[in-house]
Structure 1
Amino acid sequence: MATIPLSRYPRIVTLVSATFALAACSFGPNGKPPAMPQPAHYGAAAQPTQTVAAQGITQQFVVGAKPVPEWWKQYQSDALNALVDEGLRNSPTLAATDKSLAAAREQLRAQVGSSMLPTIDAGGQATRNRALTIPGFGPSTMLYDVFIGQLEAHYTIDLFGASRLADAALASRVNVQAYQLDAARRALAANIVTAAITSAALRAQIDTTERLVTLANDQARDTQRRYVLGAVSHADQLSAQQSAASLSASLPGLRQQWLTTRHALAVLLGRTPDAAPDDLALAQLQLPQQVPVVVPSELLRARPDIQAADAALKAAAADVGVATAQMFPSLSLSASMGQGGFSWPVALSGAGAIWSLGASLSQPLFHGGALFAQRRAAVDTYDATVSQYKQTVLAAFQNVADSLAALEHDAQALDSANVAARSAQGIFEETSGRYRLGAVPIASTRSSEQQFRNAQLDEIRYTSARLTDTAALFQAMGNPPVEAAGGVANSANAPAAALVPASSVTAVN
């Protein structure tokens, strides 16, 4: 009887121990997301219940409210609603993402069908053959025909769940794409709203700046005439000319920003840049007075990016199970039946019946450590996905915190800018009245109007910032979770999950 060298006992013992250890423990993690801290409030300081009143409007933060699905309708603008609807309907980027998701779902159906069900193929063969002969023995040539028709079946029994886990991993990756499509829809809507508001604000800034340029040019001409008459110094004349030129130099940059924003908005809508829509009237957009603040525990279920990270985590957990199951035996069954013969009459008769049954069992023994390395790689990938999930959640908390702080500070800045604009307008109106009475020169009127227009520019900027930051907060809240039978599930992942047997959704223990 052959003996095993003593030097090989440690390696054999290690291999056997590892095999039994893998068989005894879980095939992989359960795929549940790690527990995340639930902050009492999002920011470094607790958010207020409402902002200060700016332009007569106070925004209230409704803590615990559900996200608003079509939040852009809160601006109460039919023109804005039409733009968002057009973009969601015609965006090529969104259509491409949707088709990619449809292709991924079909690939999942194909994999589930090929891995969980037997394959059956029909085949037929008709050949004419010439047999080799040995000189001096038998006839010099032997010709014969072969006719075969048969059905072949093959099925691999998923003893340790490798196929089911692979299907679950692919289903989770399809869910990732579904959540990404959901996120893309919301991002597109937010980009359209932001671009429309920004374009309207830039148009208003251009109009106000053009008026400032006109005032500055008038002032420069008057100063030039007064310099010729010797009423002002040369330095005063140059200063007025420099102010007018500086204001004129700011206009091309504003116009460039305005056109760039309009072009971007047209592309978001699925149009060519030359078909950019007309600007909205900034004053016609109604600032939403109530904005939802989803509690942190609900935010994990409402944000598509967090849901996508959760689905990626489940896929990585299933990959660990697949890598583990590949270390265990696999059993395949095969069968065939049909008719065959050297002539059609024989092949179609009872004498031509042919069949076969077979089974094969395979157990990996030595692969140079590849299987263990693949499992360790899958575990490391899973650990990396856990960290990515945590980072996604933290980034979502930061996004909400920043948006809340921005709205609070926008309201404060806009309130101050609005007070300054009203005061400057009052000074301008009083100075204009005194000019009409002949009490002050025209230069004083121009100077007071310049102060008013500059204050108006600041008010336009802060109004735009408040409107766009409100859109950012609505976007940061995500989607309201969809209640489904048997638990809560987002509608995006239901089709993919339904294709995979329930036993494969979690790792095999």
Structure 2
Amino acid sequence: MCTSRPADRRHRRERLHGLVRIALAPLLVMSTSCAVGPDFSRPATPTVDKYVQVDRQSFAAPAGVQTLSPAVSVRDDWWTSFGCTAIDRAVDETLTGNATLEGGQASLRRSDDLLRAGAGVFYPQVDAQAGASRQRYSPLRIGVDAAPSIFNLFTLSATVSYTLDIWGGERRQVEALAAQADAQRYALAATYLTLASNVVNTMIARAAYSDEIVATREMIDLLREQIHITEVQVAAGAGAWSAVLSLQNEMATLEASVPGLEQKRAESEHLLALLAGMFPRDWSAPPLSLQDIALPAVLPQTLPSSLVRRRPDILQAEAVLHVASANIGVATAALFPQITLSASGGLDSTVLHSLGNASGQVWSVAAGVTAPIFHGGALWFQRRAAIDAYAESQAGYRQVVLAAFAQVADALRALEHDAQTVEAQTRAVQSAADALRLIKASYRAGTVGYLQILIADGQYHQARIAWLQATAQRLQDTVALYAALGGGLVPES
């Protein structure tokens, strides 16, 4: 019997290791440099240089001039520009207690955890097993006519496996998970922006309802006084009863409008409680008037090219597009062979205390290749479906961008028209106030009766209610502009 010398065995072992390294070197290079499927590139920014055809820089009205300035950035706490502590407190309550935000934060954490879990594929998978069994073995299974035996078997083993990511399918999968986490992050930012906008708009509407209720009740008191004077004139034979009926009808109409305004104010308060994550009975409504809300004088002016890099919904659509791009690579890699390396080792013994003896040592080293041959076209059409999904995401991204530009254009036009409306309503209020002042002077001179003062006063209150509505609309359209510009929650990337 011939035995090899230790030096010869060592030499053969070194040659074998060298051959293994040479054979695996191309695979290792491919696994770190090759990834099938398209490399994602961000969509090009729009080529338009303005949102509307006629680009105005300022919107003037007697209640205040609003100017667009590129030197002013969109702040993440943009609602503080209204200078109202009640609004600031309501927004803070919502951003800390809203249930939708809590769910969005949990979804973001889940996406981040899935990303970390997916990245585990880049590491070898190591498992350990231990077992104990009692068996009855019959030698007849291997053709030996001998008595069966009963014995105990204790095993302790470990396995290591690693799939070579030659075609980059696993990397594309992790890339898709990272893009999905980005999409969830931008969705959460969009939720923040939407909630803040809803709170500010609701607070403005609530203030307007309160002011309208006060003005309407003052008009009702004036009409009640007019009715009394008219009834006296009718009793004296100086007037017709139809005049009383007409005034009573007008007063009843105004009285009927008050519950509707109070209901709207109550609904706004209930909505604020809901947004803050509270029960309606637990939310305290601070007194608020439109006079307590300042109109932001200088508004941010951003270029259209930067809008797609700061609006959360656009960035979310871009991340969804990235996911679809990475999925093409995943589907493409499934068309090619996959190579898996594995090794296992263990200890077997029929006696527990001798489990570590060399006679019970077992091991294996293996490399496996799995190549798709025929799947009825499933893999091919899965790749086609991934390409179609990418095209669908492209269309969705374009639609989101167009809608965002339309919202900015709507807000800019609204601010222009709001300034015109407020200016006209201010003139109407001023004219009604001047008429009331002249009639009061005539009354003091004895040329007109007191009834004319009440009529002029009612006209003044009607003009003021219309002015309040126009002012509230201007404030809400300012909120719409901040929201359309992205709210400053995401810095331009």
- Helix, strand or coil at the partner of 1:28: coil
Counterparts of residues 264-303 of structure 1 (less than 5 Å): 264-274=271-281, 275-303=283-311
Query: What is the distance in 1 between the residues matched to 2:73 and 2:445?
Result: 59
Q: 1:259 aligns with which of 263, 266, 276?
A: 266
Partners of 1:168 and 1:315 within 8 A in 2: yes
Counterparts of residues 28-43 of structure 1 (less than 5 Å): 28-35=37-44, 37-43=46-52
Query: What is the distance in 1 between the residues matched to 2:234 and 2:149?
Result: 122
Query: What is the distance in 1 between the residues matched to 2:231 and 2:138?
Result: 115
Query: What is the distance in 1 between the residues matched to 2:43 and 2:229?
Result: 72
One-letter amino acid of the structure 2 residue matched with residue 217 of structure 1: R
1:262, distance to aligned residue in structure 2 (A): 1.0
Where does residue 411 of structure 2 map in the other structure?
A: 403
1:395, distance to aligned residue in structure 2 (A): 0.6
Note the alpha carbon deviations across 1:427-470, whole angstroms, 9 max, x for none.
22332343345432221111001000001001111111111111
1:193 counterpart = 2:170: no
Aligned length: 456
Where does residue 8 of structure 1 map in the other structure?
A: none
- Helix, strand or coil at the partner of 1:244: helix
1:229, distance to aligned residue in structure 2 (A): 4.2
Q: 2:450 aligns with which of 442, 446, 449?
A: 442
Structure with bigger gyration radius: 2
One-letter amino acid of the structure 2 residue matched with residue 365 of structure 1: I
- Helix, strand or coil at the partner of 1:399: helix
Are residues 333 and 195 of structure 1, via their aligned partners in 2, closer, same or farther at CA, if it must alter by over 3 Å?
same
Q: 1:83 aligns with which of 76, 79, 90?
A: 90
Q: 1:417 aligns with which of 420, 425, 434?
A: 425
Q: 2:468 aligns with which of 438, 442, 460?
A: 460
Where does residue 246 of structure 2 map in the other structure?
A: 239
- Helix, strand or coil at the partner of 1:125: strand
Q: 1:203 aligns with which of 201, 207, 210?
A: 210
Where does residue 127 of structure 2 map in the other structure?
A: 121
Partners of 1:220 and 1:244 within 8 A in 2: no
Query: What is the distance in 1 between the residues matched to 2:35 and 2:109?
Result: 33
1:479, distance to aligned residue in structure 2 (A): 5.0
Where does residue 12 of structure 1 map in the other structure?
A: none
Partners of 2:210 and 2:288 within 8 A in 1: no
Query: What is the distance in 1 between the residues matched to 2:35 and 2:225?
Result: 83
Partners of 2:76 and 2:489 within 8 A in 1: no
Are residues 69 and 363 of structure 1, via their aligned partners in 2, closer, same or farther at CA, if it must alter by over 3 Å?
same
Counterparts of residues 126-145 of structure 1 (less than 5 Å): 126-131=132-137, 138-139=146-147, 142-145=149-152
Query: What is the distance in 2 between the residues matched to 1:313 and 1:65?
Result: 31
Higher mean alpha-carbon deviation, 438-447 vs 322-331, is at 438-447
1:161 counterpart = 2:168: yes
Where does residue 249 of structure 1 map in the other structure?
A: 256
Partners of 1:215 and 1:450 within 8 A in 2: yes
Query: What is the distance in 1 between the residues matched to 2:271 and 2:449?
Result: 46
TM-score, normalised with respect to structure 1: 0.85
1:366 counterpart = 2:366: no
Query: What is the distance in 2 between the residues matched to 1:98 and 1:42?
Result: 33
Query: What is the distance in 1 between the residues matched to 2:272 and 2:102?
Result: 17
- Helix, strand or coil at the partner of 1:348: coil
Query: What is the distance in 2 between the residues matched to 1:470 and 1:447?
Result: 35
Query: What is the distance in 2 between the residues matched to 1:279 and 1:97?
Result: 32
One-letter amino acid of the structure 1 residue matched with residue 88 of structure 2: N
1:96 counterpart = 2:107: no
Are residues 54 and 30 of structure 1, via their aligned partners in 2, closer, same or farther at CA, if it must alter by over 3 Å?
farther
Q: 1:61 aligns with which of 40, 59, 68?
A: 68
What root-mean-square deviation, in Å, do the aligned CA atoms of Structure 1 and Structure 2 show? Answer: 2.2
Higher mean alpha-carbon deviation, 314-323 vs 216-225, is at 216-225
Partners of 1:64 and 1:295 within 8 A in 2: no
Where does residue 309 of structure 1 map in the other structure?
A: 317
Partners of 1:63 and 1:294 within 8 A in 2: yes
1:89, distance to aligned residue in structure 2 (A): 1.6
Query: What is the distance in 2 between the residues matched to 1:96 and 1:361?
Result: 43
Query: What is the distance in 2 between the residues matched to 1:124 and 1:306?
Result: 53
Query: What is the distance in 2 between the residues matched to 1:219 and 1:335?
Result: 100
Partners of 1:265 and 1:276 within 8 A in 2: no
Are residues 479 and 236 of structure 1, via their aligned partners in 2, closer, same or farther at CA, if it must alter by over 3 Å?
closer
One-letter amino acid of the structure 1 residue matched with residue 425 of structure 2: A
1:137, distance to aligned residue in structure 2 (A): 6.0
Are residues 387 and 33 of structure 1, via their aligned partners in 2, closer, same or farther at CA, if it must alter by over 3 Å?
farther
TM-score, normalised with respect to structure 2: 0.88
Higher mean alpha-carbon deviation, 209-218 vs 316-325, is at 209-218
Where does residue 147 of structure 1 map in the other structure?
A: 154
Query: What is the distance in 2 between the residues matched to 1:120 and 1:212?
Result: 82
- Helix, strand or coil at the partner of 2:373: coil
Are residues 133 and 226 of structure 1, via their aligned partners in 2, closer, same or farther at CA, if it must alter by over 3 Å?
farther
1:107 counterpart = 2:114: yes
Note the alpha carbon deviations across 1:61-108, whole angstroms, 9 max, x for none.
114753222111111223322222222122121121111111111111
Higher mean alpha-carbon deviation, 61-70 vs 291-300, is at 61-70
Q: 1:74 aligns with which of 81, 84, 88?
A: 81
Are residues 224 and 133 of structure 1, via their aligned partners in 2, closer, same or farther at CA, if it must alter by over 3 Å?
farther
Partners of 1:147 and 1:347 within 8 A in 2: yes
Q: 1:478 aligns with which of 461, 469, 486?
A: 486
- Helix, strand or coil at the partner of 2:278: coil
Are residues 431 and 33 of structure 1, via their aligned partners in 2, closer, same or farther at CA, if it must alter by over 3 Å?
same
1:225, distance to aligned residue in structure 2 (A): 4.1
Note the alpha carbon deviations across 1:260-286, whole angstroms, 9 max, x for none.
011111221222212242132321221
Where does residue 11 of structure 1 map in the other structure?
A: none
Partners of 1:200 and 1:280 within 8 A in 2: yes
